[in-house]
Amino acid sequence: MIRSALLLALLSAVPLSHAAPNLTTVSERSGFEATGRYDEVIALCDAFQQAYPKQIRCIDFGTTPEGRPMKALIASNTNAFTPEEARKQGLPVTLIQGGIHAGEIDGKDAGFLALRQVLEGSAAKGALDKQVFIFVPVFNVDGHERFGKWNRPNQRGPVEMGWRTTAQNFNLNRDYLKADAPEMQAMLGLVNAWDPLTYVDLHATNGAKFQHDISIQVEPVYSGDADLRKAGLLLRTNVIKDIAKEGSTPQSYYMSFVKQDDPMSGFMDSVSDPRFSTGYFQLRNRMAMLVETHSWKEYPVRVRITRNTVVSVLDQVAKHGKQWQQAAYAADARAARLGDKPVALTYRTTDKTQMVDFNGYAYTRKPSEISGALMTRYDESRPQVWHVPLREEVVADLEVKAPRAGYIVPAAYAAIVGEKLRQHGVAFRKLDKAVERLDAQTFRADKATFGAGTLEGHQRLTLEGKWKAEPRKVAAGALFVPIAQPKARLVVAMFEPQAPDALVAWGMFNTAFERKEYMEDYVAEDVAREQLASDPAVAAEFQRLLDTDPAFARNPQARLAFFAKRHSSFDERLNLYPVLRTDVAL
């Protein structure tokens, strides 16, 4: 009897190997008041694979700077657990990530809930038969573990949450194109491997107090390949319809006032720069969705509507994914023929305005006794419909013609730029022979303006100027980046010097715009006299400037620089953008 009691005690202390793992989250068990730590993600990733070995694979796709594994769950009923198998079966891939801003953690808890319900068959029935679903519960893992109360003071719940930025203080939602952060480089590796048709970026927004609970923005709708925009618009339209049927009040634009803190200024839609997900993936001819729940809704509400959005996306890709995938591949083929055709670098919202009804609250606006500024205060007990302006006509703004053949990165920058190209999966080749004379195009900046401070650890650079035909020597070891490839729009966004997130705009080539050699003033005086005596055209131009430009006439340094720039010792590379354009493939 004693032996039997002891055996029972031992057995009860050890979980049975066939016992079903618990797939609920800390959040669900708390009534969605709390959220779990990252060790829960690690445990749940393994538990889902254990519970559904035929549908789930738990993988590590990177390691954070603080040494934590970056987890993803691969879900499908098709046994397509590798990118190769997904491509072999022609399956569209849907990648949904939470916690890029780890304080906005709705997506983690909603995603686990949705995934469990999909696997159980109570949501998005059959969706995993027609796609591969990749779920990244937390993108910013180290930021997630900077855990505490009030990390998001303008947000209702959970009780504690993570931090906006990474351990290295990068904002991952500004990093898609420049890809500084190890986490972003890992994500791009995952994206390059699986080539998701749809990338969903889950957030909770900042902003004012109003009744609407979520916004759904998708690109391409206004940007990117014209035909692929039809797919993006249908995805946006159908998801909004789906979640509206579930009781949400979604909008298709970011619900931030045109004038901060002024409801009557209304709203405007726009296209994000490529540092953001929706600005980036359209450059790859793929669809990206930005989901922004309203931070002033309670956490259980936000998790529920995010769960509904995840389920809707899976349903829509199951219904239309094959068609959209073919549209994306057709866009790839068109992109490879973009040479010598116009490509938009930026977009703008026109002044075309319509008045819309927006569900807000009664409010007052009066000067604050604290700050002295005009301050808006909302009364959430008094719902009110605002009649406000909305601008949502978005058109291409700055456009350039893509080079006929491609770009050339000089050998001196080949290592660093080549690594950046590999991170994005952009095709290029290294030249094994020099080209003594290439009829290229060069960009010499008429004006180079450095940022007064830093942004994301960079001193940004703004250039003004134009491309001009100029023969140049190209050394062996330079990189040729062809336009004739599916990611042509991404190539243009990286290398056109006036693109908002070009590598040069993020400071990669700043030293090319710093003067390093000088002529002493007394030497410049002698040089000036020699040039005036020997070259009548120089003398005439100098006199013209003295007579017509008072600022020049008053500035001794400008007058000496006039002659120094015409001397053979002047650095001809100063303000020369190192990257060339070429009409000839190398």
Token pair belonging to 353 = 């305005």
Instruction: Give the pLDDT confidence score for residue 19 in this predicted structure.
Output: 65
Q: What gap in Å lies between CA 491 and CA 221, rounded to an integer? A: 20
Token pair belonging to 154 = 């303008």
Token pair belonging to 90 = 């022609």
Per-residue pLDDT band at 18 (split at 50, 70, 90): low
Residue 572 or residue 326, greater confidence: 326
Q: What gap in Å lies between CA 288 and CA 282, rounded to an integer? A: 7
Instruction: Give the pLDDT confidence score for residue 518 in this predicted structure.
Output: 84
**Cis peptide bond N-terminal to 220, omega within 30:** yes
Mean pLDDT of the residues in the chain: 95
Res 397 pLDDT > 50: yes
Q: What gap in Å lies between CA 370 and CA 373, rounded to an integer? A: 8
Give the burial class of 465: count Cβ atoms within 10 A of its Cβ; 0-12 exposed, 13-18 middle, 19 or more buried.
middle
Average pLDDT over residues 131-149: 98
Sorted by sequence, the CB contacts under 8 Å of residue 110 that are 6+ apart come out as: 98, 202, 302, 303, 304, 306, 307, 309, 310
Res 356 pLDDT > 50: yes
Q: Partners of 580 in the beta sheet?
A: 408
> CB atoms < 10 A from the CB of 325, how many?
21
Q: For residues 26 and 34, is the Cβ–Cβ distance under 8 A?
A: yes
Instruction: Give the pLDDT confidence score for residue 321 in this predicted structure.
Output: 98
Structural domains in the chain, sorted by start: 38-258+270-335 (3.40.630.10), 353-390 (no CATH), 402-514 (no CATH), 521-564 (no CATH)
Instruction: Give the pLDDT confidence score for residue 207 in this predicted structure.
Output: 82
Instruction: Give the pLDDT confidence score for residue 206 in this predicted structure.
Output: 83
Sheet containing 406-409: give its strands across.
Answer: 429-430, 479-482, 406-409, 580-582, 435-450, 461-474
- Of 162, 113, 106, nearest in space to 298 by CA: 106
Instruction: Give the pLDDT confidence score for residue 564 in this predicted structure.
Output: 87
Backbone phi and psi for residue 471, each to the nearest 5 degrees, phi listed first: -70, 135
Instruction: Give the pLDDT confidence score for residue 447 in this predicted structure.
Output: 96
Res 407 pLDDT > 70: yes
Backbone phi and psi for residue 60, each to the nearest 5 degrees, phi listed first: -100, 130
Q: Partners of 94 in the beta sheet?
A: 133, 198
Token pair belonging to 324 = 């959209």
- Write out pLDDT tens, residues 200-241: 999 999 889 999 999 999 999 999 999 999 999 999 999 999
- Write out pLDDT tens, residues 520-558: 999 989 999 999 999 999 999 999 999 999 999 999 999
Helix, strand, coil: what percent of the chain each, to 5? 35, 25, 40
Res 3 pLDDT > 50: no
> Angle at the Cα of 47 (from 41 to 48), degrees rounded to 5?
90
Q: What gap in Å lies between CA 37 and CA 45, rounded to an integer? A: 13
What are the distances in angstroms from CA 524 to CA 172, 424, 547, 566? 49, 48, 21, 11
Q: For residues 508 and 414, is the Cβ–Cβ distance under 8 A?
A: no
Res 5 pLDDT > 80: no
- Look at the block and give the residue holding tokens 């959970």: 158
Sorted by sequence, the CB contacts under 8 Å of residue 160 that are 6+ apart come out as: 34, 35, 147, 148, 149, 151
- Of 238, 240, 223, 183, nearest in space to 423 by CA: 183
Backbone phi and psi for residue 268, each to the nearest 5 degrees, phi listed first: -145, 140
Predicted TM-score (pTM) of this structure: 0.93
What are the distances in angstroms from CA 50 to CA 28, 197, 556? 20, 28, 78
Res 102 pLDDT > 60: yes
Res 11 pLDDT > 50: no
Q: What gap in Å lies between CA 158 and CA 106, rounded to an integer? A: 9
Res 416 pLDDT > 80: yes
Q: What angle do the packed helices 414-424 and 182-194 form, to 10 degrees?
A: 50
Token pair belonging to 217 = 């923005």
Sorted by sequence, the CB contacts under 8 Å of residue 376 that are 6+ apart come out as: 208, 261, 262, 263, 363, 364, 365
- Write out pLDDT tens, residues 148-201: 999 999 999 999 999 999 999 999 999 999 999 999 999 999 999 999 999 999
**Cis peptide bond N-terminal to 158, omega within 30:** yes
Q: What percent of the chain has pLDDT over 90?
A: 93
Q: What gap in Å lies between CA 142 and CA 165, rounded to an integer? A: 8
Token pair belonging to 233 = 């618009």
Backbone phi and psi for residue 135, each to the nearest 5 degrees, phi listed first: -115, 120
Res 336 pLDDT > 80: yes
Three-state SS sequence of 69-109:
EEEEEEECCCCCCCHHHHHHHCCCEEEEECCCCCCCCHHHH
* DSSP designation for 302: H
